[in-house]
Amino acid sequence: MNVGEQLRTRVLAREWLAGTFINLGSSITAEIAGRCGFDWLLLDYEHGPGSDESLLHQLQAIRGTTAAAVVRIAANEAPRFKRVLDLGADGVMVPYVNTAAEAIAAVAASRFPPHGVRGVSKFNRAAGFGQGFEDYYANAHHRVTLMAQIETPEAVSNVEAIAAVDGVDVLFLGPLDLSTNLGIQSNFTHPLFVEAQQRVAVACREAGKAGGILLANAGQIPLARDLGYTVIALGSDGGAVSSGLREYARLLKSPATS
């Protein structure tokens, strides 16, 4: 069982899967994170600064570790799926999935015919540059994990229908976007946010899908676990580097250490 198939199997079994966001576009931090024991890493190509070339280097770096690589694309557009999947992503995270129709389109874009509309090419990294094409073409539809992000009130109102779409494996709640779109930016204890968080968790459980969420701090882990979220990301490489360097600077400038 390859890394991608293993990830999807564990996702659908609703195992606890620990991840983090990789948003610096760096193959070095991607490789470091992959060696830290995470089950999956999210390469952020919605908001991150990376290019196709840096994504390739990150995917190559991660493949030498035990982590699976999921890429967040910038929009729910078929060419974007094709690009990152051909480069060898184990999964795709799709931002702003608001309706079942949009979820269906995302599934189709992530799968080859007859299962979807993904363009076919033999000579790419995912297919072993042609050497593994037949196997990849025959099995990619059940090896690629699809994560649909729930980030708006519209998405929350349609969450049960989105969860029911075959091929959507994870409903991944985006806390900052969702709270912003609810008019309560970063207020994760507000009743509106709590209700939405609970509704997403219930929809996932009833549909046999996994619930995912990005957490801002370790204090949010117990609630996420209690609600039934299982695909969990905590922080990012950028956040870790920034907080670590700020702490070094603080220690060096502190009167107590000078």
Active-site residue, 47 included: yes
Which residue in 47, 57, 141, 190 is the catalytic one? Answer: 47
HEC assignment per residue over 25-85 = CCHHHHHHHHCCCCCEEEEECCCCCCCHHHHHHHHHHHHCCCCEEEEECCCCCHHHHHHHH
- How far apart CA 56 and CA 117 sit, in angstroms, is 23
- How far apart CA 258 and CA 123 sit, in angstroms, is 59
Q: Which residues lie closer than 8 Å to 157 by C-beta, 6 or more apart?
A: none
Q: Is 28 within 8 Å of 61 (Cβ atoms)?
A: yes
Which residue shows structure tokens 């912003």?
180
Number of neighbours of residue 190 by Cβ within 10 angstroms: 15
Instruction: List C-alpha distances in Å: 233 to 28, 112, 175, 211.
Output: 19, 29, 12, 11
Nearest by Cα to 116 from 149, 165, 157, 49 = 165
Nearest by Cα to 210 from 153, 172, 166, 160 = 172
What residues are labeled active site? 47
